[in-house]
Structure 1
Amino acid sequence: MRTVAMPADANAYGDIFGGWLMSLMDSGAGLVAARRAKGRAVTVAMDGVEFHKPVKVGDEVSVYAEITHVGRTSMVIATDAYRRERHSEEDEIVTSAKFTFVAIDDAGKPRAVDI
């Protein structure tokens, strides 16, 4: 996923709110989880969140997610966010976390990941 950090997402100093960034990372990890589960999957945990560097208004933010473990009903997805200054070619990691998702059925009950 890729987006631009906007003023509405920042504090008075121009730093992007951590919650906004975590939401973006959750969305990116959720896309990977839904594809692997071939259906609905929900976030049940977020572990090891590390904010390495701040994100500023105008930065391009990219989120990358990779499945690191698949259980019977759950998946762990390592997710990293990078920033790139608007007029730069180089990016740098700003946040990392591990998200755990559980595949669920239409009734909201856990189901096997492999259908």
Structure 2
Amino acid sequence: MSDTSSAAATAAATLKSLPTDMELVLKVIPMPADCNVNGDIFGGWVMAQCDLAGSVIPARYAKGRQATVAVNEFIFKQPVRLGDILSFYSKLVRVGRTSVTVTVEVFAERFRAQGEYIKVTQATFTYVAIDDNGRPRPIEKPAEEE
């Protein structure tokens, strides 16, 4: 991709506001130790942060131990750069008998473009409630969902 088309794609992806239909579950600034050889943030570091962010909503349902059982989707849309302020938003997708599925969307506020956001990553995770032996256990659904 040429510099001109790359700049156009980035400009088209720039948002002036963050999602209102999702919950802010984590905000973090990557540090120099999180950089790869290209100077961008390691994809694995971003994945780990997404897993942490994704676990927030399921914890309300699991009310105890839970484990990540699936990364159903993971898409890197833009690189994460040193100095970005990352906002992780999550939304409930499904509550099953023992599992909870959520989506996570990550928005970067670039160091030199405060107040503008770029969606850098989106993912879907499934977590399962587990007992003390690590076996799946039923989740009690809230009254409003029964």
Q: TM-score, normalised by structure 2?
A: 0.75
Q: Which amino acid aligns with 2:57?
A: V
Match of 1:44 among 65, 69, 79: 69
Q: Under a length normalisation based on structure 1, what TM-score does the superposition of the two structures give? A: 0.94
Name 1:95's counterpart in structure 2. 121
**Unpaired segments ≥5 residues, structure 2:** 1-25, 142-146
The 5 Å alignment of 1:65-104 reads 65-87=90-112, 88-104=114-130
Amino acid paired to 1:9: D
| 1:18 counterpart letter in structure 2 | G
| SS of equivalent residue, structure 1 residue 39 | coil
| SS, match of residue 61 in structure 1 | strand
Amino acid of the residue matched to residue 32 of structure 2? P
Match of 1:22 in 2: 47
Q: Give the whole-Å Cα distance in 2 for the aligned partners of 1:58 and 1:29.
A: 23
**Given residue 95 of structure 1, which amino acid in structure 2 is its aligned partner?**
T
Q: Secondary structure at the match of 2:52?
A: helix
Which runs of structure 2 are paired with 1:54-65 in the superposition (5 Å)? 54-65=79-90
User: Structure 2 CA distance, aligned partners of 1:64 and 1:82?
Assistant: 8
Once the 2 structures are TM-superposed, how far is the Cα of residue 13 of structure 1 from its aligned partner?
2.2
Higher helix share goes to which structure? 2
Give the number of the structure whose residues are more often strand, by fraction.
1
Task: Please tell me the root mean square deviation across aligned C-alpha atoms, in Å.
Answer: 1.2
Aligned equivalents of 1:39, 1:80: Cα separation in 2: 25
Please state whether the residue corresponding to 1:34 is helix, strand or coil: helix
Q: 3-state SS of the aligned residue for 2:33?
A: helix
Secondary structure in structure 2 of the residue aligned to 1:50:
strand
| 1:19-57 superposed Cα distances (whole Å, 9 cap, x missing partner) | 000100000111221122111111001022111000100
Partner residue in 1 for 2:33: 8
Aligned equivalents of 2:111, 2:63: Cα separation in 1: 36
Identity percentage over the alignment? 43
